[in-house]
């Protein structure tokens, strides 16, 4: 069960009379294409750069810089009670400088991501951003528009937990694999030939 910040809950209750504006903060830890070093970057739905404190998955608080002016849009958030893997889509302008750095200078393939959200009323955040999503970038298509059309970048972000639960185990029970795990292991020494043997267990 997710427990909202009291100020966020109050802003949602007053939305019918005063209006409300959802705000998203997107944190991506890509890799430097040259060195392979981790390159964290934050983007948000506002127009100006902002430094805010957000909750990290471990339960602590982190102060981060989020870059604005990216036309950030988040779609597809679903909260379900089963193990359904429902990725979210994070769209942004492909001509914004921070986005160019994110997807062209950095490598975001399987990059770790966090999504936080809150609301804004009167030009101010109503509460510290709540942690909504922890995942990895599954796809990052760049749509190059024709003349007079709109382009953009839409990152498909899968839940990290669901991707781990639904992943297949590539490990094999071959003799070579067993020995890589532990030298001297002979459990599967004859695994490759045992299927061709015909043993009649009832004969002495």
pLDDT in tens, 117-132: 998 887 788 888 989 8
Dmax over Cα atoms in the chain, in whole Å?
89
CA distance 164 to 134: 12
pLDDT of residue 149: 60
CB neighbourhood size of 47 (10 A): 10
Task: Give the helix/strand (H/E) hosting 125.
Answer: strand 124-125
In a domain, 195, yes or no: yes
pLDDT of residue 197: 67
In a domain, 86, yes or no: yes
Q: Of 130, 178, 162, 180, whose CA–CA distance to 12 is shortest?
A: 130
In total, how many domains does the chain have? 2
Q: Are residues 45 and 133 in the same domain?
A: yes
CA distance 189 to 179: 9
CA distance 70 to 190: 59
In a domain, 150, yes or no: yes
Which residues neighbour 92 within 8 Å (Cβ) at sequence distance 6 or greater? 43, 70, 71, 72, 73, 99, 152, 153, 155
Q: Are strands 142-143 and 152-159 parallel, antiparallel or unpaired?
A: antiparallel
Q: Are residues 61 and 152 in the same domain?
A: yes
User: Which residue is listed with tokens 């990059």?
Assistant: 111
**Domain extent for 60:** 6-165
Q: Are residues 146 and 199 in the same domain?
A: no
In a domain, 1, yes or no: no
Q: Are residues 200 and 138 in the same domain?
A: no
Q: Are residues 83 and 181 in the same domain?
A: no
Q: Are residues 16 and 109 in the same domain?
A: yes
Q: Are residues 26 and 126 in the same domain?
A: yes
Which residues of the chain have a pLDDT value below 50? none
Q: Are residues 160 and 179 in the same domain?
A: no
Return the DSSP state at 102. Answer: I
Is the model's pTM score more than 0.85? no
In a domain, 143, yes or no: yes
Structure tokens at 43: 């983007």
Q: Are residues 109 and 50 in the same domain?
A: yes
Q: Are residues 73 and 150 in the same domain?
A: yes
Q: Are residues 188 and 139 in the same domain?
A: no
Q: Are residues 176 and 159 in the same domain?
A: no
In a domain, 145, yes or no: yes
């Amino acid at each position: 069960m997710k427990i909202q910040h009291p100020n966020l809950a109050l802003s949602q209750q007053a939305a019918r009379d005063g209006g409300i504006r959802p705000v998203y903060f997107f944190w991506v830890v890509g890799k430097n294409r040259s060195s392979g070093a981790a390159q964290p970057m934050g983007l948000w739905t506002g127009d100006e750069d902002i430094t805010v404190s957000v909750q990290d998955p471990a339960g602590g608080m982190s102060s981060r810089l989020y870059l604005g002016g990216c036309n950030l849009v988040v779609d597809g958030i679903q909260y379900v009670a089963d193990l359904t893997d429902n990725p979210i889509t994070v769209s942004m302008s492909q001509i914004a400088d921070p986005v160019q750095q994110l997807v062209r200078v950095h490598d975001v393939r399987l990059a770790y991501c966090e999504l936080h959200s809150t609301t804004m009323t009167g030009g101010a955040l109503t509460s510290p951003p709540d942690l909504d999503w922890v995942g990895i970038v599954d796809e990052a298509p760049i749509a190059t528009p024709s003349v007079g059309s709109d382009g953009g970048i839409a990152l498909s972000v899968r839940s990290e937990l669901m991707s781990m639960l639904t992943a297949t185990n590539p490990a094999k029970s071959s003799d070579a694999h067993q020995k890589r795990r532990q030298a001297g292991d002979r459990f599967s020494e004859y695994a490759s030939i045992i299927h061709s043997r015909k043993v009649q267990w009832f004969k002495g």
